[in-house]
Amino acid sequence: MLHIENVGKSFGALTVLRGINLEAAAGRITGIIGPNGAGKSTLLNVVGGLFPNDTGRILLDGTDVTPLPMHERARCGLVRTFQISRELGELTVLENLMLARQAQTGEAVLGALLRPGSVAREERAAVLEAKGLLDNVGLWRLADQSARALSGGQKKLLELSRALMLKPKIILLDEPAAGVSPPMRLEISKVIRGLCQDGMTFVIVEHDMDMIASLCDQVYVMAEGKNLTSGTFGEVVADDRVVRAYLGGVA
């Protein structure tokens, strides 16, 4: 599904990614772990298109998406969430979701003004779909609240639902459990597992090892901008290079 080939990225003199390779299989959950500052979020930023990469390329279903800007990658079905939740605070929870619908007549100025019938029909379809997604994570009762008013955990669920509204092929999650209480973590894990069973593909960056262990089929370990190793969760934690990387210093 997603192939990351030899991706490198520097910010000025600071080289953050040094030739990362990664492959996320369709319908699977691929984990990325590594110590703070390993470059995991930067990798997601580059894959999502926030920063251009210096070397390498990114393939989605065999198509090279490297030259595409962020919004076109999203339209290809590649969507990501953020380590620190980025809800659109002044919009309601429902509006946050409705926004993610693609190819809406009313998104063009003339479409919005001249084709009110199509717009109304699409809006109703969108609200029903959003209701389904929000019901699934228990946020429908908050649909008309400002997204700003949600709790940290609810914001994570909102971001996940918003990503789903886009009908993506693959979702990249940056620390979906960060700052979330243990019961809410279980809730988020359950939602992700359910979606995976329905055929969604995920890449998850996470420090919560229980979550990685319970969800991921394949785990990549990154340290100092490089691939350290990969394998099942059991395999990578048995590797002492991984333990040493977490304790500081790369093998």
The three-class DSSP label of residue 160 is helix
Phi, psi of 172 (to 5 degrees): -100, 120
How far are the Cα atoms of 196, 208, 214 from residue 193, in angstroms, in the given order? 5, 16, 9
15 binds ligand ATP (CB under 6 A): no
Number of Cβ atoms within 10 Å of the Cβ of 108: 11
Transcribe 122-155 into DSSP letters: HHHHHHHHHHHHHHHTT-GGGTTSBGGGS-HHHH
Smallest separation (angstroms) from Mg ion to the CB of 145: 28
41 binds ligand ATP (CB under 6 A): yes
Total residues contacting other proteins (rule CB under 8 A)?
Answer: 48
Q: Output 36 or 197, the one with its CB closest to Mg ion.
A: 36
- Using the rule CB under 8 A, which residue among 18, 131, 226, 244 binds other proteins? 131
CA 223 to chain centre: 20
- Using the rule CB under 8 A, which residue among 124, 149, 235, 251 binds other proteins? 124
247 binds other proteins (CB under 8 A): no
Q: Are 4 and 225 in contact (CB under 8 A)?
A: no
Q: Which pair of tokens denotes residue 57? A: 């390329």
9 binds other proteins (CB under 8 A): no
How far are the Cα atoms of 95, 110, 187, 219 from residue 138, in angstroms, in the given order? 16, 36, 10, 30
Phi, psi of 209 (to 5 degrees): -65, -30
Percentage helix, strand, coil, to 5, in the chain?
45, 25, 30
- Using the rule CB under 8 A, which residue among 91, 184, 186, 196 binds other proteins? 91
85 binds ligand ATP (CB under 6 A): no
Distance CA 159, CA 181 (A): 17
71 binds other proteins (CB under 8 A): yes
Q: Output 10 or 146, the one with its CB closest to other proteins.
A: 146
Contacts to Mg ion from residues 28-57, by CB under 5 A: 41
10 binds Mg ion (CB under 5 A): no
Q: Which pair of tokens denotes residue 44? A: 């997601």
Q: Output 74 or 237, the one with its CB closest to other proteins.
A: 74
Which region among 40-48, 96-104, 132-140, 156-164 touches ligand ATP (by CB under 6 A)?
Answer: 40-48
Q: Give the binding site for other proteins (CB under 8 A).
A: 48-50, 69-72, 74-75, 79-80, 82, 86, 88-92, 94-95, 98-102, 104-109, 111-113, 116, 119-120, 122-124, 127-128, 131, 143-144, 146, 162, 166
What residues make contact with ligand ATP under the rule CB under 6 A? 11, 14, 16, 34, 36-42, 83
| Residues at the site binding Mg ion, with contacts judged by CB under 5 A | 41, 83
